[in-house]
């Protein structure tokens, strides 16, 4: 009986040990399997993280590149605008009359100039100043030419001039078409606002207005034209200058700004410009009462002593704006010349001074500030004694001769 029990115990123990050994092997295999799965899972996680990091890296690179592209685009726009100004500005001129100034565009190599009628008013002949070759150069006598008025259009406020002795190598502006006009596109302007010569501005087209009516010019004419409404800054002195698009093509003539508003400016459209150029002869407004223009009369605003008490003076308004733009000075000291001062751009500073050395109203010489920067550009010589000089000399040459003496 004891033997049986002993054998039974041995067999049971052996079976339990075998079972136990199987369980350990199974656990070991399971552990290895789990370790493999965990390692494989970890590798997948790492792979997923690496892919995500790669995507993040790509996104970061894209953002950085985007920033660089944006910066480059900004720089490119500046470079593009500078190149556009360099290309178009030689086609823009400064127009000077006895009482005002404006802008104009060279439209062909024969020296024809497109501008607004209200810039030249009733003048038959005006001065045209061409841009010097370099932006830093001063205007010289060679840059200034006389031009005759060929024809005008009171209705659309346009005028065409012919330079009498045009310079060589003129660079005409190219014309666009009405198909180039689209709301929202960039547009550019070059002109001489308040005498600040060859000023560049840009904006966008806000709207296009058909048969738009406005008033202005000598006699307060009523004008009608298709006009381009823009945000491009325009001030007195810009009138008559070009409105052009990114390729440098003219699509309008900058003409007027909205009354008592900011950022609303108007240009006569290329369609009306082309019609005006093709039309023979002038066209006069039928909306002006009696079609009679009352020319502005010279009005003396003050006669009396000067502030320093050393002269008699006469302050006059020659353009009917209620503000003196001409001053005549008659010194009490008989050794001092009579003189007359002109303020053409309305900044209350003389830009022409003409002298009568013999005090007999026969004029001898004059100083001219053509770009209104406060420095003289020309000296005029009045051989015939008239108010208009016959010849000019660069002020720098005149001053050099004076210092050499």
**Residue 17 vs residue 178, higher pLDDT:** 178
- DSSP for residue 382: -
- Residue 347 falls inside a structural domain: yes
Residue 71 has pLDDT above 80, yes or no: no
**Residue 10 vs residue 343, higher pLDDT:** 343
Residue 312: pLDDT band with limits 50, 70, 90? very high
Span 80-84, mean pLDDT? 92
- Residue 137 falls inside a structural domain: yes
Q: Judge if 133 and 279 occupy the same domain.
A: yes
Among 292, 311, 295, which residue's Cα sits nearest to residue 303?
A: 311
Note the pTM of the prediction, 2 decimals.
Answer: 0.58
Contact 334, 322 (CB under 8 A): no
3-state secondary structure of 351: coil
Q: What is the CATH number of the domain that holds 126?
A: 2.40.10.120
Q: Determine the Cα–Cα distance for residues 122 and 100; give it in Å rounded to an integer.
A: 12
Span 95-111, mean pLDDT? 92
Most confident range, picked from 4-8, 21-25, 251-255, 361-365: 251-255
Contact 326, 341 (CB under 8 A): yes
Q: Determine the Cα–Cα distance for residues 117 and 149; give it in Å rounded to an integer.
A: 10
Token pair 């000067």: residue: 306
Q: Judge if 312 and 347 occupy the same domain.
A: yes
- Residue 19 falls inside a structural domain: no
Q: Please say if 157 is a catalytic residue.
A: yes
Residue 26 has pLDDT above 80, yes or no: no
**Residue 322 vs residue 181, higher pLDDT:** 181
CB atoms within 10 A of CB 238: 29
pLDDT at 240: 96
Residue 285 has pLDDT above 80, yes or no: no
Q: Judge if 304 and 269 occupy the same domain.
A: no
Choose the catalytic residue: 103, 105, 118, 127.
Answer: 118
Q: Judge if 178 and 229 occupy the same domain.
A: yes
- Residue 45 falls inside a structural domain: no
Residue 149 has pLDDT above 80, yes or no: yes
Pick the range with the lowest mean pLDDT from 56-60, 176-180, 241-245, 316-320.
56-60
Q: Judge if 321 and 211 occupy the same domain.
A: no
Q: Judge if 263 and 318 occupy the same domain.
A: no
- Cβ neighbours for 156, distance < 8 A, ≥ 6 positions apart: 223, 224, 225, 268, 272, 276
Residue 218: pLDDT band with limits 50, 70, 90? low
User: In the Cβ-directed half-sphere of 241, how many Cα atoms lie within 13 Å?
Assistant: 32
Chosen domain end from 240, 262, 291: 291
Domain count, the chain: 2
- Residue 5 falls inside a structural domain: no
Q: Determine the Cα–Cα distance for residues 77 and 74; give it in Å rounded to an integer.
A: 5
Q: Judge if 130 and 231 occupy the same domain.
A: yes
Q: Please say if 50 is a catalytic residue.
A: no
How is 77-110 classified by DSSP, letter by letter?
HHHHHHHHHHHHGGGEEEEE-SS-EEEEEE-STT
Q: Please say if 239 is a catalytic residue.
A: yes
Residue 217 has pLDDT above 90, yes or no: no
pLDDT at 72: 42
Chosen domain end from 291, 324, 341: 291
Cα dist from 106 to 20, 164, 197, 305, whole Å: 108, 13, 16, 46
- For 225, the enclosing helix (H) or strand (E) is strand 221-230
Residue 361 has pLDDT above 90, yes or no: no
Q: Judge if 276 and 370 occupy the same domain.
A: no
Choose the catalytic residue: 239, 255, 269, 366.
Answer: 239
Q: Judge if 247 and 229 occupy the same domain.
A: yes
Chosen domain end from 252, 271, 291: 291
- DSSP for residue 260: T
pLDDT at 76: 59
Cα dist from 78 to 81, 202, 284, whole Å: 5, 12, 43
Q: Judge if 267 and 138 occupy the same domain.
A: yes
Choose the catalytic residue: 143, 153, 157, 369.
Answer: 157
Sheet containing 338-342: give its strands across.
299-305, 311-317, 326-331, 338-342, 352-356, 365-368, 378-381, 391-394
Q: Judge if 107 and 200 occupy the same domain.
A: yes
- Residue 7 falls inside a structural domain: no
Q: Judge if 240 and 142 occupy the same domain.
A: yes
pLDDT at 4: 40
Cα dist from 88 to 84, 185, 277, whole Å: 6, 18, 20
pLDDT at 17: 38
- Residue 355 falls inside a structural domain: yes
Strands (E), 234-318: 242-244, 250-257, 265-269, 299-305, 311-317
Cα dist from 35 to 32, 104, 218, whole Å: 5, 86, 98
- Residue 177 falls inside a structural domain: yes
Among 177, 288, 267, which residue's Cα sits nearest to residue 225?
A: 267
Could you tell me the residue range of the domain that residue 321 belongs to? Answer: 299-404
Q: Determine the Cα–Cα distance for residues 381 and 364; give it in Å rounded to an integer.
A: 6
Most confident range, picked from 52-66, 103-117, 270-284: 103-117
Predicted confidence (pLDDT) per residue in 364-391, tens digit: 989 988 767 788 988 889 988 888 777 8
pLDDT at 9: 42
């Amino acid at each position: 009986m004891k033997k049986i029990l002993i054998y039974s115990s041995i067999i049971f123990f052996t079976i339990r040990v075998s079972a136990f050994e199987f369980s350990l092997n199974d656990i070991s295999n399971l552990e290895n399997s789990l370790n493999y799965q965990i390692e494989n899972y970890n590798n997948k996680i790492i792979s997923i993280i690496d892919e995500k990091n790669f995507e993040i890296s790509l996104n970061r690179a894209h953002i950085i590149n985007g920033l660089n592209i944006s910066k480059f685009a900004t720089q490119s726009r500046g470079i593009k605008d500078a190149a556009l100004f360099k290309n178009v500005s030689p086609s823009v001129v400064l127009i000077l009359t006895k009482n005002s100034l404006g802008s104009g565009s060279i439209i062909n190599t024969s020296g024809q100039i497109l501008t607004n009628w209200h810039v030249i008013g009733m003048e038959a002949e005006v001065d045209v100043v061409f841009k010097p070759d370099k932006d830093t150069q001063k205007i010289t006598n060679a840059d200034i030419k006389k031009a005759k008025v060929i024809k005008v259009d009171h209705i659309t406020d346009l005028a065409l001039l012919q330079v009498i002795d045009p310079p060589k190598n003129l660079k005409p502006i190219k014309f666009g078409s009405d198909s180039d006009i689209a709301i929202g596109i960039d547009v550019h302007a070059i002109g001489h606002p308040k005498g600040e010569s060859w000023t560049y501005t840009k904006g966008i087209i806000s709207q296009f207005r058909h048969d738009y009516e406005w008033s202005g010019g000598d006699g307060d004419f009523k004008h009608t034209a298709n006009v381009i409404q823009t945000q491009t800054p325009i001030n007195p002195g810009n009138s008559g200058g070009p409105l052009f698009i990114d390729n440098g093509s003219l699509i309008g003539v900058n003409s007027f700004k909205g009354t008592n508003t900011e950022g609303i400016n108007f240009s006569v459209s290329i369609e009306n410009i082309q019609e005006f150029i093709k039309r023979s002869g002038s066209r006069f407004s039928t909306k002006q009462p009696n079609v009679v223009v009352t020319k502005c009369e010279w009005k003396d605003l003050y006669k009396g002593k000067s502030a320093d008490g050393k002269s008699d003076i006469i302050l006059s308004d020659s353009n009917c704006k209620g503000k003196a733009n001409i001053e005549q000075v008659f010194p009490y000291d008989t050794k001092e010349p009579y003189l007359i001062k002109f303020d053409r751009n309305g900044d209350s500073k003389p830009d022409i001074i003409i002298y009568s050395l013999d005090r007999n109203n026969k004029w001898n010489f004059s100083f001219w500030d053509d770009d209104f920067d406060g420095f003289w550009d020309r000296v005029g010589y009045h051989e015939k004694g008239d108010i208009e000089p016959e010849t000019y000399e660069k002020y720098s040459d005149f001053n050099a001769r004076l210092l050499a003496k």
